[in-house]
Structure 1
Amino acid sequence: MSLTSTKAQLIHVLADQESKVVALSGKWGTGKSHLWRQVKEASKDEKIKGALYVSLFGLSSIEQVKLKIVQSAIPSADRHPTWWDNAKKGWAAASKVLESVHKGFSALNEIALLAVPSILKDRVIVIDDIERKHQKLSVDEVLGFVDEFTQQHGARIILILNSDELSDPALWDTFREKVIDQEIRLDTSPAEAFDIAVSLVSSVYADRIRATVEGCGVTNIRIICKILRAVKRILEGQVLLPDDVLARVVPSTVLLSAIYYRGFDDGPDFDYVLNGSGEDWSDWGKKEDELDEEGRRRAQWRLKLRQLGIHGSDEYERLVVDYLKSGLLDVTEVTKLVARYATAAESMRMHRLRDQLYEHINWHHKMTDADLVAEAKSLVTLVHHLDAPNLYRTMRCGLGADRRQAGRRSYGGPLDRRVPAELALPGRWQ
């Protein structure tokens, strides 16, 4: 479910007092903890608003878990004085029992551990980062703790976890059947993840970054925040950049950052992007079923890069990769490259419009011939910006029927459109 629908479902489930153990699962970094905080802050239920929180990150024993919960309970004492008075009575009684057994049991930790049932009685407890616990702390210990405190002490437990990362999925499935009353899975969309990330890390290039983030399908909020910071750092100090320059530098910066931070599955690597978008002419002329697995993957990557508006690479992409790997940025070189792109803005517009026309001819079957002719005519006054190889490629691959056939052989077939005769523009393109 999306973030919005998952939030509504979680609120509904929490209102059902019979649901003692609720699991909120989803991929890492997709906003599960963020969603819980929103629900907690907006809730009118005092128990939900006073929920205790513990992260299992690095914890190696159930005793450490209990002590963490005790520590999280203390700051809430002023907000819930009645509950705290009852807890202190239980704690005092536990202290006397221990000391009556043996003076050596007066240590604070031991008293606190015995007082845990009093502290957790009838409380809502959020247990986060189960998959990041220490390997010494087993899943069955955690879920045994959950079962004990819900059944014997009236507690309600909310588990926040990335179930894909649990070390023992089979054991988790068993406890899902025996312990968990309701499980809600969060499937955050790239748009929702970006909205959260940009509220944490603002950017003047947010709209352009959003388009590439969504095109790459990145849903990890932490990674999107890193992408926003990377773009901000690299383009810091560059003011009033023309749209054509932004269209040139932002998509590749976002893509390379997403690759480095592992923001999407089965995407290209640095070498593919840096080496002319991975052109491998051995693929051309082959039908889709003639391509090997690697060839089909390259074909998918080529299509993805075209959709993102990335049609090549130069020194700028290498500079971005160097920055991502080392953390060191040559600001002077960035300024020189951006200035060069600004000077060549008209040429860049020519290449962008050419690529757009190519895309429309091959893949947008609803566009009329008149629309395509109008687009082609807009290139006439800019055609002097094309060098000989690009002019030949435009004539042969962008505007020629033979390119349509080559595309059919390589990609399984763009739409079978008759290219209007006007698009050949024989007097102007030769």
Structure 2
Amino acid sequence: MSIELLEKEIRRFLASFDAEVLCISGKWGVGKTFAWNKYLQEADSEGAIGLKRYSYVSLFGRNSLDDVRSAVFENTVPLAGAPTKPNLASVIKSAEAGGRKLTAYARLTPKVKDYVALSERVLFATMGSQLICIDDLERSGKGLAVHDVLGLVSELKEQKACKVIVLLNAEKIPGDGKEAFEAQLEKVADISLTFNPSPSEAAEIGVSPGIALRDRLVRHCVTLSIVNIRVIKKIERHAKRLGEILLGYDGRILEQAVSSMALYTFSKFQPDSAPPLEFLRKFNRFTGLVGQPSEEYAKWRDLLIEYEYSSTDEFDLKVMAGVERGFFDEAQLKAAADDLAASLQFGDQGNSVHEAWAKYHDSFDDNADAVLDGLDAAFRANANAITPLNASGTVRLFKELGREEQAKALARYYVDIRNEPVEFWDLSEYAFKGDVTDPDLIAAFVEKHASFAPPALDAGDVLIRISCQSGWNTRDVEFLANLSAQDFVTLFKKLKGEDLRRAVREALRFANRGGQGSPEVMIATRAKEALELIAAESPINARRVAQRLAEAKGG
């Protein structure tokens, strides 16, 4: 049933004074309760509800009819159209409210609580005509049978002149309850509807009016065929937060963040319907151009192209991390946004790269020479804006299409033209290092990285960093292993306080990080020799060294 017809039927139901039962079934997450509350609130604000009192009861975990009756009574509230001046009806309502509070407290009181069930039945008997929503029928506890609930619904309609709406996922009613539901539904419900919104309908009701980038959020949800309202609301919440963090940045950065976030949220919360996050983490449309595309790549490529998602970059990874955690690291996201803003300065030139790739993607023409010539020109014009991952994919494509020497020349040109810091050329630190696979480009990166003079290391800084990060690399070990015992004496005497404790402790811990004769053991051996030399200087230093050795042994 369309959203338009559902809204019309709900509004008719709300406006009528007649006692009746409306049943709406739909899959979990499609927004049955959300839609009901939306139309209820709108009708209430317009004074378009016939009855003036309302009670909402979720059956989730409830195990008895007495529990349900109590909840119906306790949750009853006046609607906006109810009279505000004191009259007999409002006095009765005040008494009922007091009764609800009294029974709630009574349940906590020994002995008195034994009489609560009886009093609640009496209070329930005083109920008159009102609007009631019974939600989550399929999630009721084991002690509450479906046929008993439907019996209560029938009682509310026939004996209390109530209007009752029942919301459920009929497909998920457990065991024999489903047969009982289907057998009694026709006898109990005056109208039975199935709520199955289309992606466009779900997005229209799920994305709040007036939110920034609303049209884009709707389009993203529709393209991904999301009908789960909970997922849509999560996307909306993340979009609001991204808008706050990225306020003042180039609008294209926020657009990329929101687009990527919507895809990642879909993937996280609907994994059976969406590309896996791990696949998206490494996705690059150009990678599939080389060799035989994987089955997973072939499965999701068309959707991602339609979504205009060409690759995952470093900025996207920060957005993805936020979706996975449930919140965004503002500092990390802004740092990645700064880098992206710098690369967008090449945006106008980047259009030529897009146009060059369009000749490859958008036809079956026998135009390999024209495609490759265009890619060569665009690659050279935009090398400073092309990521190492895309550079690798481009070079490999040239090789597969028979232009080996031209491919090698492109790899060399890319490395020669880029004026980047040493960190850029260290592929071991690159987020997509496993996908940079062209051997000529890798070799050029290694050569470029080796051409930088390594920064001078300070032994104290190295040991303190190892202590703080609980990690070290080969260069750290080689550097520390070349220190003499006297170098360690100088180091330990220079350091003070917590820095001294960290340095001594980490140096001695290397005794357990390698085999006999290894560089790691050599570090610990010379550090201990240095401490023995310091201990021999004076009785007070002997005590200090003994204390440091004990601390290192214990921690």
Considering the TM-score relative to the shorter chain, is it more than 0.5? yes
> Matched residues in 1 for 2:345 and 2:19: separation?
63
Q: Are 1:209 and 2:206 counterparts? A: no
- How does 1:49-128 map onto structure 2 within 5 Å? 49-73=52-76, 107-119=115-127, 121-128=128-135
Name the residue aligned to 1:44. Answer: 48
> Matched residues in 2 for 1:16 and 1:345: separation?
58
Name the residue aligned to 1:410. Answer: none
- The higher-RCO structure (CA 8 Å, 6+ apart) is 1
| Per-residue CA distance 1:233-264 (angstroms, 9 max, x = gap) | 345332333344345433222211222233x7
- How does 1:375-386 map onto structure 2 within 5 Å? 384-386=381-383
- How does 1:16-31 map onto structure 2 within 5 Å? 20-31=20-31
Q: Tell me the CA shift for residue 211 of structure 1.
A: 2.6
- Rate the CA distance shift 1:157–1:196 in 2: closer, same or farther, 3 A: same
Whether contact under 8 Å (2:130, 2:161) holds in the other structure is yes
> Matched residues in 2 for 1:104 and 1:344: separation?
72
Which of 145, 167, 170 aligns to 1:163? It is 170
Range 238-247 or range 154-163, more displaced = 238-247
| Per-residue CA distance 1:300-327 (angstroms, 9 max, x = gap) | 3111112222112233333333333334
Name the residue aligned to 2:319. Answer: 320
- Rate the CA distance shift 1:284–1:117 in 2: closer, same or farther, 3 A: farther
Residue 212 of structure 1: SS of its match in structure 2?
A: helix
Whether contact under 8 Å (1:251, 1:309) holds in the other structure is no
Counterpart residue type for residue 111 of structure 1: S
Unmatched segments (≥5 aa) in structure 2: 100-110, 365-369, 402-555
Residue 51 of structure 1: SS of its match in structure 2?
A: strand
Name the residue aligned to 1:267. Answer: 274
Which of 115, 125, 131 aligns to 2:138? It is 131
- Rate the CA distance shift 1:148–1:173 in 2: closer, same or farther, 3 A: same
Residue 9 of structure 2: SS of its match in structure 1?
A: helix
Residue 25 of structure 2: SS of its match in structure 1?
A: strand
Name the residue aligned to 1:6. Answer: 6
RMSD of the alignment, in Å? 4.4
- How does 1:341-352 map onto structure 2 within 5 Å? 341-347=340-346
Whether contact under 8 Å (1:105, 1:111) holds in the other structure is no
> Matched residues in 2 for 1:397 and 1:13: separation?
66
> Matched residues in 2 for 1:283 and 1:166: separation?
49
- Rate the CA distance shift 1:358–1:137 in 2: closer, same or farther, 3 A: farther
- Rate the CA distance shift 1:310–1:65 in 2: closer, same or farther, 3 A: same
> Matched residues in 1 for 2:12 and 2:144: separation?
32
Name the residue aligned to 1:304. Answer: 303
Counterpart residue type for residue 107 of structure 1: Y
- Rate the CA distance shift 1:359–1:14 in 2: closer, same or farther, 3 A: farther
Counterpart residue type for residue 277 of structure 2: F
- How does 1:182-193 map onto structure 2 within 5 Å? 182-193=191-202
- Rate the CA distance shift 1:17–1:46 in 2: closer, same or farther, 3 A: closer
> Matched residues in 1 for 2:121 and 2:362: separation?
66
> Matched residues in 2 for 1:392 and 1:161: separation?
56
Whether contact under 8 Å (2:289, 2:397) holds in the other structure is no
Q: Tell me the CA shift for residue 56 of structure 1.
A: 1.9
Residue 23 of structure 2: SS of its match in structure 1?
A: strand
Residue 226 of structure 2: SS of its match in structure 1?
A: coil
Number of residues of Structure 1 aligned to a counterpart in Structure 2 = 367
Name the residue aligned to 2:516. Answer: none
Residue 199 of structure 1: SS of its match in structure 2?
A: coil
